[in-house]
Structure 1
């Protein structure tokens, strides 16, 4: 069980870490997303910081179960919100969000199965 939990946590950290970097360095894709969703661009660094915090939390969760549970829960909420934001404006480009959400849910479930709730 630990191998599956560690693998998914590391994979989720890689996915979210890469996304966080693109948000924080000012890449064009993250800048275009708030424009499409009607969100001010000033929130792009905040979203990047949330992704970075989730990345660090997933990795810390390998040593401290509570941190991993909190990070995975936060990422689940983040990606549910992202998918809703896409659907709200009529965008059907949600495959990436679903993959990230599935990774976060899997990390959360495997963490809970491996460590328990605390």
Structure 2
């Protein structure tokens, strides 16, 4: 297993837990996300796949990266960054700036931090 910094472990773990929770919420179609998604024009059928599935796969990839699977952690972080950018674009396009939009910004920033710390750990070991 490559040497990974404590900061990378902490940030990646927090990111994985939060994204997994978000993915489970989408996959289980919990009530607080149904109305905002409908306002955005996102079909309810998309909550399980692709939305919930992509988030859960991203969280799993982050954890596998921590466990030493080569390059899967940074790849998962990149995938999550792309996901959150697309999610924020959907909000912007719909001119819908509800709390989910700002939460998406936080998740995206956390994924950027995760990627940065993982690359730093790989590069400077």
TM-score by length of 2: 0.87
Q: CA deviation at 1:19?
A: 0.4
1:104 correspondence with 2:111: yes
Provide the residue aligned with 1:85 in structure 2. 90
**Which deviates further from its counterpart, 88-97 or 8-17?**
88-97
What RMSD in Å do the two structures reach over aligned CA positions? 1.2
Q: Which runs of 5+ in 2 are unaligned?
A: none
TM-score, structure 1 length as denominator? 0.92
Quick check: 1:12–1:104 contact (8 Å CA) kept in 2? yes
Is 1:19 matched up with 2:22? yes
Does the CA contact (< 8 Å) of 1:65 and 1:115 recur in 2? no
Q: Given the alignment of the two structures, is residue 49 of structure 1 paired with residue 56 of structure 2, yes or no? A: no
Equivalent pairs, count = 116
Runs of 4+ in 1 over 3 A off after TM superposition: none
Distance in 2, Cα, partners of 1:115 & 1:80: 25
- Structure 1: unaligned runs, 5 residues or longer: none
Q: What's the CA shift for 1:72?
A: 0.2
